[in-house]
């Protein structure tokens, strides 16, 4: 039985290190480091010799030592408000995609809507001296980012500018999304619209509502827009709205509904279809927001606005990398990405 890869004299479990490799290959430590990091600075012969030693020993670099000595890391930390929302997961994918091109990797931390977790993970990445931090924050959580900045970390914000924060940020244009949704229905000839969603204190929902209003305003009174608030944006909230609409007299039933989220739209549609013989989209055209899977999986696929999650992740990573590479010339930017309309059966029929 070999003693390699086993326990050192201290009883502490041991893995081969650069010295072991150097010894085995009969070269100096610095040379091994060079074949690892600057292969071009080394003879092919020694490179091969060293590589052989590495393979035989099963050597793996120690990142801690590397980061310590080099003073830099090549990983990016991404603290995400809610991984169960595919919008945010898409951001993670975009970030990985972009980071990979730069030879960096992205580590994920799910704050799961909990302030405390967000704090823990931000601190973790600060202690880790990661190259930079991407943060899709919990609304109104300034302190955590101030603290990270104080610790000299570079952070880029996604989907929430946390107003005061002195960082780059990448946002989705919810106002424009709301505009596009309403415009879509108006272009389809709908004149009595409802905007369903809430609470209006939720910035994205509020912005979507404002956008819808703007589209309506452009018609100079030709189109009406009614606002039906909800507590949250779940299927259940949607059913409640759908039920309310179903109970109305024929004359007061809208011919177009903009839901602030797909789940809401789904609930609305379920209620209307089961409680009345109103047909979608003939009598009511319905559009949601988010491009949630439930929307295209529903029996009448629901039109929606697709958020640019992947793209946001990419752009945020680009900004972060730029800030890392040229900290002195870098100036913070705020980039706003547009959602795109996906028209499906619930508005345009088949």
> Which residues contact a copy of itself by CB under 8 A?
5, 12-13, 15, 58, 60-68, 71, 73, 75, 83-84, 86, 89, 92-93, 96, 105, 107-110, 112, 117, 120-121, 123-124, 126-129, 150-152, 235, 263, 266-267, 270, 273-274, 293-294, 297, 299, 327
Q: How far is the CB of 64 from DNA (least distance, A)?
A: 7
Enumerate long-range contacts of 25-32, CB under 8 Å, 24 or more apart: 25/49, 25/50, 25/52, 25/53
Q: Residue 52 binds which one of a copy of itself, DNA, none, with CB within 5 to 8 A depending on kind?
A: none
69 binds DNA (CB under 7 A): yes
Residue of 52, 65, 113, 236 that binds DNA (CB under 7 A): 65
63 vs 44, 72, 269, 294, CA distance in Å?
Answer: 25, 10, 53, 42
Q: How far is the CB of 37 from DNA (least distance, A)?
A: 5
Residue of 27, 138, 158, 263 that binds DNA (CB under 7 A): 27
CA-atom Rg of the chain in angstroms: 27
CA 315 to chain centre: 11
Peptide bond into 199 cis (omega under 30): yes
Q: Which is nearer to a copy of itself, 138 or 235 (CB)?
A: 235
Q: How far is the CB of 7 from DNA (least distance, A)?
A: 12
Q: Is 221 within 8 Å of 251 (Cβ atoms)?
A: no
338 Cβ neighbours under 8 A, 6+ residues apart: 172, 173, 176, 177, 308
Q: Residue 340 binds which one of DNA, a copy of itself, none, with CB within 5 to 8 A depending on kind?
A: none
19 binds DNA (CB under 7 A): yes
Q: Residue 113 binds which one of a copy of itself, DNA, none, with CB within 5 to 8 A depending on kind?
A: none
124 binds DNA (CB under 7 A): no
57 binds DNA (CB under 7 A): no
Estimate the crossing angle of helix 235-246 against helix 262-275, to 10 degrees. Answer: 40
Q: Which is nearer to a copy of itself, 264 or 315 (CB)?
A: 264
- DSSP structure class, residue 303: B
Residue of 7, 52, 55, 68 that binds DNA (CB under 7 A): 68
3-state helix, strand, coil in the chain (%, to 5): 45, 15, 35
Indicate the pairing of strand 168-172 with strand 155-158. Answer: parallel
Query: Interface with DNA by CB under 7 A: which residues?
Result: 14-15, 17-19, 26-31, 33-34, 36-37, 41-43, 45-46, 59-62, 65-66, 68-71
């Amino acid at each position: 039985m070999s003693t390699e890869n086993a326990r050192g004299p201290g009883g502490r479990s041991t893995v081969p290190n650069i010295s072991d490799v150097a010894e085995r290959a009969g070269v100096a430590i610095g040379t091994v480091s060079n074949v690892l990091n600057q292969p071009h600075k080394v003879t092919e012969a020694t490179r091969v010799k060293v590589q052989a030693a590495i393979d035989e020993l099963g050597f793996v670099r120690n990142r801690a030592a590397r980061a310590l000595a080099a003073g830099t890391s090549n990983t990016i930390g991404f603290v995400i408000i809610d991984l169960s929302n595919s919008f945010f997961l898409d951001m993670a994918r975009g970030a990985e995609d972009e980071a990979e091109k730069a030879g960096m990797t992205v580590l994920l931390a799910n704050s799961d809507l909990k302030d405390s977790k967000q704090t823990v993970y931000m601190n973790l990445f600060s202690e880790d001296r990661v190259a930079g931090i991407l943060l899709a924050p919990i609304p109104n959580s300034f302190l955590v980012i101030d603290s990270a900045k104080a610790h000299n970390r570079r952070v880029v914000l996604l989907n929430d500018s946390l107003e005061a924060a002195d960082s780059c940020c990448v946002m989705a244009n919810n106002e424009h999304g709301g505009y596009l949704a309403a415009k879509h229905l108006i272009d389809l000839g709908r004149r009595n619209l409802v905007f369903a969603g809430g609470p209006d204190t939720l910035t994205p929902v509020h912005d979507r509502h404002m956008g819808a209003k703007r589209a309506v305003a452009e018609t100079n009174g030709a189109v009406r827009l009614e606002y039906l608030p909800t507590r949250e944006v779940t299927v259940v909230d949607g059913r409640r709205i759908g039920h309310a609409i179903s109970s109305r007299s024929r004359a007061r039933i809208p011919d177009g509904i903009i839901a602030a989220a797909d789940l809401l739209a789904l609930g609305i549609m379920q209620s209307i279809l089961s409680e009345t013989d109103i047909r979608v989209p003939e009598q009511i055209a319905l559009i949601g927001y988010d491009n949630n899977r439930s929307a295209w999986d529903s029996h009448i696929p629901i039109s929606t606005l697709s958020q640019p999650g992947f793209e946001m992740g990419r752009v945020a990573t680009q900004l972060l990398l730029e800030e890392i590479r040229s900290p002195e010339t870098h100036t913070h930017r705020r980039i706003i990405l547009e959602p795109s309309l996906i028209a499906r059966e619930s508005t345009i029929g088949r």
